[in-house]
Chains A and B, each alone.
Chain A
Amino acid sequence: MAQATRLRFIPTLAASLVVLVATLPNAALASGEQVRIAIDVPYEPFVYRTPSGQLEGFEIDLGNELCKRAQLDCSWVEQGWDGIIPGLLSRKYDAILSSMAITAERKQQVLFSDPYYNTPSVWIALRGTQVDLDDKASLKGKTVGVQRGTIRDVYITEYYGDVMQVRRYGSSQEVANDLKAGRLDFAFEDYPIAHDAFDFQSSDAPFEQFGPDISTPTSIFGEGAAIAFRPRDEALAEKFNQALEEVNADGTFKALMERYFDYDLSVNAED
């Protein structure tokens, strides 16, 4: 009896093995060179999921365009920000196209392409907040939320870590949520992200940009966002650089940008 019970599982086991094998990535199928690109989802409007589960956004479109021009067979891998560089180094994917700013610390680990966009960081607070960012005494006891491990985390920790209470979140969405819930006095976010999450330019939005755009010191904020590769993959980086140059030259980049943004975030923008 026990024997019979055990045997009954064998068809199930076989079926699940078939399913498993069928879903494994099939290397023999593709013609071009295979490149897996990691991206931290969501980071609206750079990348987000549609209700039907599709990945969409500026960086998805840009990445697909670059791959097409470089004749690469690209696939997207979702990866949380926390582990995105170690994942690249341990070969879980071959590139990171996820709004990663070029910084000296990251340069020690990865190889960067040319930057493809550059945006400042901004403080967001409730409309009518009365403090002075230069007067540290007025910030005492205030809370500020940042995404953990970003350039903005480094900046806040270095310049305001001694007076403000810094809360670090796994994603930028959680920062926005907690500012809206009233748990934070400030959020320190990337300009496009804040623009989408808080709509701070319209005058009836409850939150507003606080203080000027922040993009210095360059030692922290870097020279813009770029695609990251493993240091030895110089040939691959070169292909992407060439494709970037093409899309910049023939206006494709601008067209893509205008589909998602009503402001200029290209590297040479005057702001």
Chain B
Amino acid sequence: MEQLNQAIIDLLSGNEIFTANTLDIYWEGLVNTVHLVFVSLLIGILLAVPLAILRGSRFAIIKWPIWCYTYVFRATPLLIQLYLAYYGFAFVPGVRDTWIWFFVEEPIYPALFAFTLNTAAYTTEIFHGAIKSTPRGEVEAARAYGMSRALTIRRIVLPSAFRRALPAYGNEVIFMLHASAIASVVTIMDLTGAAYYVYARFYAPFTAFIFVALLYMVLSFGIQAIFRGLERWLLAHLRPAG
């Protein structure tokens, strides 16, 4: 153990890149990335659940606007959405004198706006697909028991749809983590922004980007572990008996 420690100290002593200063920048990047991804996923899922239910509505006036929204946000690159949110709003005449400016001035809010709407669009479609594939028999049985439509959705449709959507949603979470790498183009010091900074400062692309790739991997593994745990727990009835 002592040998290992000494080896690590020797390894780090010869480098000019991983000083306390740059590690601090990476740490700031990690905090910003996690913050950004977590908040947009949280708001995104809160938006997506009602939207997914309404997306299956019989009424065209409810169904089609939601379809349009998910279609537009899934059909355009997230980078473009981010640029529009960041640069687009700022140049609307007169916006600087309204309360909206508070949200446009800091780069974090336009980024959250774009990321949230983007993940909400994908999540809506994932949940909508899961709701649509609810076996008819389950719904009919619930109706036969005298449950109202709302109660059927709450007790029967949503719980089983959540379970079916879980693996796909886990992927969406990881995609979102990776997609958040573009936040640095609007000056947010996220993980990729930190790597860019170290890279531009020391002209060491390999060191800067491999280190940040490892950090992203650790985050991804963490997310995967959480979702595997959730699946074991919620999809226990699908596991082979014994």
Q: Quick one: which of B105, B193, B196, B205 contacts A182, CB cutoff 8 A?
A: B105
Complex alpha-carbon distance, A83 and B195, angstroms: 12
Interface status of B71 (Cβ within 8 A of chain A): no
Min CB distance A103 to B, Å, is 11
Interface status of B38 (Cβ within 8 A of chain A): no
Q: Quick one: which of A82, A85, A170, A181 contacts B90, CB cutoff 8 A?
A: A181
For B87, what are the chain A residues with a Cβ–Cβ distance below 8 Å? 177, 181
Interface status of A69 (Cβ within 8 A of chain B): no
Q: Quick one: which of B101, B185, B200 contacts A149, CB cutoff 8 A?
A: B200
Contact between chains at B203 and A106 (CB < 8 Å): yes
Complex alpha-carbon distance, A83 and B205, angstroms: 8
Min CB distance B112 to A, Å, is 16
For A167, what are the chain B residues with a Cβ–Cβ distance below 8 Å? 107, 187
Contact between chains at B203 and A182 (CB < 8 Å): no
How many of A's residues come within 8 Å of B, CB to CB? 22
Complex alpha-carbon distance, A245 and B25, angstroms: 43
Q: Chain A at the B interface: mostly helix, strand, loop or mixed?
A: helix
Complex alpha-carbon distance, A148 and B196, angstroms: 8
Interface status of A64 (Cβ within 8 A of chain B): no
If A168-B193, A181-B91 touch, whether A109 touches B200 (CB-CB below 8 Å) is: no
Q: Quick one: which of B91, B189, B199, B201 contacts A154, CB cutoff 8 A?
A: B201
For B197, what are the chain A residues with a Cβ–Cβ distance below 8 Å? 148-149, 168
22 pairs, A vs B, C-beta closer than 8 Å: A82-B200, A86-B203, A86-B205, A105-B202, A105-B203, A106-B203, A145-B187, A148-B196, A148-B197, A149-B197, A149-B200, A154-B201, A167-B107, A167-B187, A168-B187, A168-B196, A169-B187, A178-B187, A182-B96, A183-B90, A183-B105, A183-B107
